[in-house]
Amino acid sequence: MKVNGIVHPAPADPRRLLSDHLRHDVGLTGTHVGCEHGVCGCCTVLFDGAPVRSCLMLAVQAEGHEVTTIEGLAAPGAPLHPVQQAFHECHGLQCGFCTPGFVMSVVGLLGQHPNPTPEQVDEGISGNLCRCTGYASIRRAVVRAAELSPSPRRGEGRGEGRAEEGPHK
Amino acid sequence: MLASLEDAKVLAGGQSLVPLLNFRLARPAHLVDINRIPNLNRIYEQDGGVVVQALARQAEVEDSNLVGQRCPLLGLAVRLVAHRVIRNRGTVCGSLAHADPASELPATLLVLNGHVVARSTRGTRIIPAADFFTSVFETTLAPDELVVEAWFPASTGKYAIAEESRRHGDFALAGGVRYGDRLALFGVAPTPVLADPKNPTSGLHPSGDLEATPEFRLHLVQVVTDRLFPA
């Protein structure tokens, strides 16, 4: 399987969860494990580009597929991914435990709805639990991430015709 | 392969099965992962309705124009299944075979009079929804049979789905799905059940748990029925 563009061997144990494989075998501990039954969303990664729960997949199932973790969104030293940048700007985190999962879910949400309505924002983050922020700053971060994302507006959702280049502060 | 293994479970999306494995609530001796079987992920039209194959993800069904045109009720129901990230992986046929009594999709298949197609090395058989669900997590599937597809008839008449849950994406405490004059309830019996819209709680004995007492579930049945069949 490819993890963040690099080929890794599958684990010897077919019972190994993808989440445990990423953390313990590949050494990418940015993927967090909260509930281990798909409720909290902390372990969300991109599987062939779509967000999935890595605790609800066996690692061997990822053979031949591409997995992207939070570490794969932006190279060390490079500018942050727009969703990461937005969480930073809007203070969309406190303790940070849920953040990797939120960021990966929001990457998926903006892929589906580049310019989400408030309802789409709420539904898009409803599968992730945060016990610190009360979600208000996270919702702002999603809207900000949509502004920062280079994807074209397709007249979907709110579509207030923001300038593509415009991080207006 | 299913026929040759003792105590094997089919693994498709895994969004219900893997949590059970993680908690050791299910301990099958073997898992048969069907995800690499080719040409088993289609959504296509048949007899005016929609066929959903075993590896079609719930998110694909949600986004399908064909489902939106032919069976919009299925489109509504699938949106109530957990969250988008779960639906990216979970399958419609998996939800049917899992047969969780609180699940939306079995009740939707039942109210529409749809069926599943089960295949084994012995052959293929069509199982109507009314004959498929037998108890909590139990169906009439034989151990060597795989649900290869499910057929949802066209939902052209009046249709709606309503449920009450503690949080968005949670399992419903009680729910109902309407197609025309038919009503199927979920979350209130060991299987989805057809009910009389005029007297929906008749004969029901829902269980109680930390989330809801039996009396509260019966109350919710009336609430969702009133919502599905407005005067």
Q: With contact defined as beta carbons under 8 Å apart, do A79 and A89 qualify?
A: no
Q: Does residue B35 have a pLDDT over 90?
A: yes
CATH number for the domain that contains residue A120: 1.10.150.120
Q: What's the pTM? A: 0.91
Q: Enumerate the residues of chain A whose CB falls inside 8 A of the CB of residue B15.
A: 38, 53, 56
Same domain? A97 vs A158: yes
Q: What is the ipTM score, two decimals?
A: 0.91
The encoded tokens of residue B51 equal: 């066929």
Asked if A57 and B89 come within 8 Å (Cβ–Cβ), the reply is yes
Specify whether A46 is located in the same domain as A31.
yes
User: CB–CB of B89 and A53 under 8 A?
Assistant: yes
What is the β-pairing status of strands B49-53 and B43-46?
antiparallel
Chain B residues near any Cβ of chain A (below 8 Å) = 11, 14-15, 18-19, 22-23, 31, 33, 35, 59, 82-86, 88-89, 168-169
pLDDT the model gives residue A152: 52
Please state, for a pLDDT cut of 90, what percent of chain B lies above it. Answer: 93
CATH number assigned to the domain comprising residue A35: 3.10.20.30
Mean pLDDT across A16-38: 97
Question: In this structure, is the dihedral angle defined by the CA atoms of residues B17, B18, B24 and B29, taken in order, positive or negative?
Answer: positive
Which are the contacts of B60, defined by CB distance < 8 A and separation ≥ 6?
B41, B43
Within 52-71 of A, beta carbons closer than 8 Å to B belong to 52-53, 55-58, 61
Q: What is the pLDDT of residues A115-161, one digit of tens each?
A: 999 999 999 999 999 999 999 999 999 999 999 998 554 444 433 33
To the nearest whole Å, the CA of B202 is away from the closest chain A CA by 34
**What structural domains does chain B harbor?**
8-152 (3.30.465.10), 159-228 (3.30.390.50)
- Per-residue model confidence as pLDDT tens digits over B60-95: 999 999 999 999 999 999 999 999 999 999 999 999
Radius of gyration of chain B measured on its C-alpha atoms:
17
A136-148 and A99-112 helices, crossing angle to 10°: 50
- Domain stop point among A22, A41, A72: A72
Nearest-CA distance B173 → chain A (Å): 17
Report d(CA B169, CA B65) in Å as an integer: 23
Please indicate, yes or no, whether residues A62 and A26 belong to a single structural domain of this protein: yes
pLDDT surpasses 50 at B57: yes
Check whether residue A86 and residue A162 sit in a common domain: yes
Model confidence at B13: pLDDT above 70:
yes
Task: Please tell me which of the candidates B33, B35, B84 has its beta carbon nearest to residue A127.
Answer: B84
Mean pLDDT of A89-93: 96
Q: Write out pLDDT tens, residues B177-191.
A: 999 999 999 999 999
**Same domain, yes or no: A64 and A22:** yes
Are residues A66 and A83 part of one domain?
no
Q: What is the mean pLDDT of residues B126-152?
A: 97
Task: Determine the 3-state secondary structure of A67 from DSSP.
Answer: strand
A98 with A43, same domain: the answer is no
A81, A6: one domain: no
Torsion of CA B219, B224, B227, B228, to 10 degrees: -140
Boundary residue ending a domain (A20, A50, A72): A72
Contact check, Cβ <8 Å, A108/B19: no
Same domain, A166 and A83: yes
Domain co-membership, A84 together with A151: yes
pLDDT at A168: 38
What residues of chain B lie within 8 A of the CB of A61, using their CB? 14, 33, 35
Same-domain check for residues A132 and A93: yes
pLDDT the model gives residue A162? 35
Structural domain count, chain A: 2
Residue (of A60, A90, A63, A88) closest to A73 by Cα position: A88
Supply the mean pLDDT for chain A. Answer: 90
Of B31, B59, B85, the CB nearest to A127: B85
Q: Which of A72, A92, A112 is the last residue of a domain?
A: A72
Domain match, A42 and A68 both:
yes
Contacts of B85 in chain A (CB under 8 A): 41, 44, 51-53, 105, 108, 127
pLDDT at B1 (0 to 100): 78
Domain of A24, in residue numbers:
2-72
Give pLDDT, residue A150: 80
Round the average pLDDT of chain B to a whole number and report it.
96
